[in-house]
Amino acid sequence: MQLKKIRHELGVAGCALLQVPVAGVNAANSEWDIDTAVLYYAEGDGRVSAFEPAIYAGKDLDDGGRIDLRLVLDVLTGATPNGAHASSVTQTFTTPSGQSSYTAQPGETPLDDSFKDTRLAGAADWTLPVNRLSRVKLGLNASREYDYTSLGASATYLQDFNGRNTTLSAGLAFNNDTIRPVGGVPTPLSPMRQPGATNRVGPEDTKTVADMILGLTQIISRHTLVQLNYSLGLSDGYLTDPYKIVTVVNPVTGLPDNTALLNVNADALPYVYEKRPDSRQINSVFFRTVHHFTRDVINFSYRYFWDDWGITSNTFDLKYRYEIGRGYLQPQVRYYLQEAADFYRHNLVQGTDVDASGAVLLDTVSSDYRLAKMTTTTLSLKYGHALGESSEWSIRAGLMNQSVDDGDVPAGEETPDTDAIILNAGYSFFW
């Protein structure tokens, strides 16, 4: 479960090397085209680091169909923010298991250093020709983490028109996920308690995700291609992060205050477990254009996202590939701008958001910075080199900066910027 939150940070980096076949080479039907990649991602200040090897294998079949296979392993370690913010006093928290505690010193952003995760994910797609101009792609996917299991299936119909210069596509996907948090599923909006006592509603919960996509790909000329997609996602079930909390503060001092929460549990700490809506509708429009100059290639994409949680975002991505002999150099700039969710709060105020009995007066609330107003900028440089006629290696290095706008919060409680390095290495070949 924790891993799924981090994957947003990785953006398109994780499997980017698995999406581009060896340049200038076409595989025969009897050959597999293999792409392998390794990602290393590391945030500063001892926060999350990720190691992700991945492999893709695809093969054209004699009947005009195709099979595509993918396998990814994610290993994450480090410390991750728990949702609370820095304070001028020492803060003590209970670990997700409920059996021990950890502290954040004055001025420090609270980080849970027990964070760790390993995820194994696999997917298989089978493309079947319907006739000369249409085909159907069927897919299955599965992933397993120590606290999260996901199973899914998809189907996409593709139709060519206009001398195969135009392709329309329509796809559906469905996933069923089971969440088994460490220590059990926290009771939403209930206090975090001292070690040895927990507020839990059960060992696990579930959610379902249904996605639809409509797409148009148009070849404008021998050198230019454009793509336009609209996607709709519907999620239902347990959408809360079981590891995130919200601080309750005193309205006068602004410091963490558990006075009201002690009426709920005698050992309550000044924090409550977050609660998000149990449904979500996601929409996005994606545009991409690729133009091939005499030798070089420019690739630009834009994505607009909006949902019924109040989040909107704009993503701009620009890549330019310079050909250099048998190699190429590709700088990339990615800029992401997000508005906050309607229920995002920096903290809860005792007497306003929490009454004297300790009851939270809001239906939903989260102080997870990933739901806040933010901007993310990623700069990277990739170099690739062809080895003979049927293989290529590449390496990519990038720097990411994420800046959260907390609004009008007291000095010293701001969410610090997140800086990260991203390294990719890849090798593609035919077998």
The residues near 253 (Cβ < 8 Å, ≥ 6 apart) are: none
Q: What stretches of 25-146 adopt beta strand conformation (E)? A: 32-43, 49-60, 66-77, 80-81, 91-94, 101-104, 111-112, 116-131, 134-145
- The Cα 40–Cα 76 span in angstroms is 10
- Which burial class, exposed, middle or buried, applies to 204 when counting CB atoms under 10 A from its CB (0-12, 13-18, 19+)? middle
3-state class percentages of the chain: helix first, strand second, coil last, to nearest 5: 5, 60, 35
**What are all long-range contacts of 30-36, with beta carbons under 8 Å and residues at least 24 apart?**
31/59, 31/430, 31/431, 32/57, 32/58, 32/59, 32/430, 32/431, 33/57, 33/58, 33/59, 33/428, 33/429, 33/430, 34/428, 34/429, 34/430, 34/431, 35/426, 35/427, 35/428, 36/426, 36/427, 36/428
Cα angle 201, 203, 205; round to 5: 80
Domains, the chain, with CATH or none: 2-430 (2.40.160)
Detail the DSSP E strand segments found in 116-204. 116-131, 134-145, 148-161, 166-179, 185-186, 191-193, 200-202
Tokens representing residue 11 in the block:
């953006």
Largest interatomic CA distance in the chain: 74
Residues 6+ apart with CB under 8 A from 45: 416
pLDDT at residue 209 in the model: 98
- This prediction has a pTM of 0.90
Q: Is 96 helix (H, G, I), strand (E, B) or coil?
A: coil
Under 8 Å CB-to-CB from 324, ≥6 apart: which residues? none
DSSP single-letter state for residue 17: G
Q: What is the mean pLDDT of each run of 10 residues along the chain (431 residues)?
A: 44 37 46 95 92 96 93 94 95 94 94 88 97 96 96 98 96 98 96 95 97 97 96 98 97 96 97 98 98 95 98 98 96 98 96 97 97 97 92 97 89 90 96 88
Instruction: Kindly state the tokens that stand for 303.
Output: 């994505």
Q: What angle do CA 267, 272, 275 make, to 5 degrees?
A: 145
pLDDT (0 to 100) of residue 414: 87
Element (H, E) at 9: helix 2-10
pLDDT at residue number 28? 52
Tokens matching residue 176? 């069923």
Give the Cβ contact number of residue 30 at 10 Å: 9
Return the structure tokens found at 239.
């959408």
Instruction: Produce one character per residue of 207-229: b if its CB has 16 or more CB atoms within 10 Å, e if not.
Output: bebebebebebbeeeeeebebeb
Distinct helix (H) and strand (E) counts, the chain: 1, 26
Q: How many residues does the chain have?
A: 431
> Residue 431 gets which letter from DSSP?
-
What pLDDT is attached to residue 29? 55
- Give the model's pLDDT for residue 14: 38
* Distance separating alpha carbons of residues 83 and 110, to the nearest angstrom: 8
pLDDT, position 30: 61
